[in-house]
Amino acid sequence: MTLLNWKTWCSCALSGVMLATVSTMVLPVREAAAQVRALPDFTDLVEQVGPSVVNIRTLEKVVNTPVQGGGLDPNMLEFFRRFGLPIPNVPGGQNQMPPGHGSRQEDAQPRGVGSGFILTADGMIMTNAHVVEGADEVLVTLTDKREFKAKIIGADKRSDVAVVKIEASGLPAVKVGDVSRLKVGEWVMAIGSPFGLDNTVTAGIVSAKQRDTGDYLPFIQTDVAINPGNSGGPLINMRGEVVGINSQIYSRSGGSMGISFSIPMDEAVRVSEQLRATGRVTRGRIGVQIDQVSKEVAESIGLGKPHGALVRGVEKGAPADKAGVEAGDIIVKFDGKPVEKSSDLPRMVGSTKPGTKSTLTVFRRGSYKDLSVVIAEIETEKPIAQAAEKPGKAKEATAAQALGLIVSDLTDADKKELGIKGGVQVDAVDAAAARSGLREGDVILAVANVSVVNVKELETVLVKLDKAKAINVLFRRGEWAQYTVIRSGR
| CA-based nearest residue to 350, from 243, 220, 215, 244 | 215
Tell me the percentage of the chain whose pLDDT exceeds 90: 39
Number of residues that this document lists for the chain: 490
Give CA–CA dist 38/387, Å, rounded.
64
Do the domains spanning 284-377 and 399-486 agree at the CATH topology level? yes
pLDDT at 338: 93
pLDDT above 80 for 16:
no
The catalytic site residues sit at: 130, 160, 231
pLDDT at 461: 86
Has domain 399-486 been given CATH number 2.30.42.10? yes
pLDDT tier for residue 51 given thresholds of 50, 70 and 90: very high
Count of alpha carbons within 13 angstroms of residue 388, beta-carbon side = 5
Q: What's the fold here for domain 48-90+101-165?
A: Thrombin, subunit H (2.40.10)
Report the distance separating Cα 173 and Cα 457, nearest Å.
67
Q: Are 206 and 220 in contact (CB under 8 A)?
A: yes
Look over the chain and give the mean of its residue pLDDT values, rounded to a whole number. Answer: 80
Distance CA 189, CA 202 (A): 6
Selected residue with higher pLDDT from 397 and 46 = 46
CATH topology of domain 179-266: Thrombin, subunit H (2.40.10)
> 90 pLDDT band (50/70/90 cuts)?
very low
In the chain, where the domains are located: 48-90+101-165, 179-266, 284-377, 399-486
Fold (CATH) for 284-377: Pdz3 Domain (2.30.42)
Give the per-residue SS3 of the chain: CCHHHHHHHHHHHHHHHHHHHHHHHHHHHHHHHHHHHHCCCCHHHHHHHHHHEEEEEEEEEEECCCCCCCCCCHHHHHHHHHCCCCCCCCCCCCCCCCCCCCCCCEEEEEEEEEEEEECCCCCEEEECHHHHCCCCEEEEECCCCCEEEEEEEEEECCCCEEEEECCCCCCCCCEECCHHHCCCCCEEEEEECHHHCCCEEEEEEEEEEEECCCCCCCEEEECCCCCCCCCCCEEECCCCEEEEEEEEECCCCCCCCCCEEEEEHHHHHHHHHHHHHHCCCCCEECCEEEECCCHHHHHHCCCCCCCCEEEEEECCCCHHHHHCCCCCCEEEEECCEECCCCCHHHHHHHCCCCCCEEEEEEEECCEEEEEEEECEECCCCCCCCCCCCCCCCCCECCHHHHHCEEEEECCHHHHHHHCCCCCEEEEEECHHHHHCCCCCCCEEEEECCEECCCHHHHHHHHHHCCCCCCEEEEEEECCEEEEEEECCCC
Query: At residue 70, does pLDDT exceed 70?
Result: no
Residues 406-438 have pLDDT tens digits of: 888 888 888 888 888 888 988 888 778 887 788
Average pLDDT of the segment spanning 389-394:
42
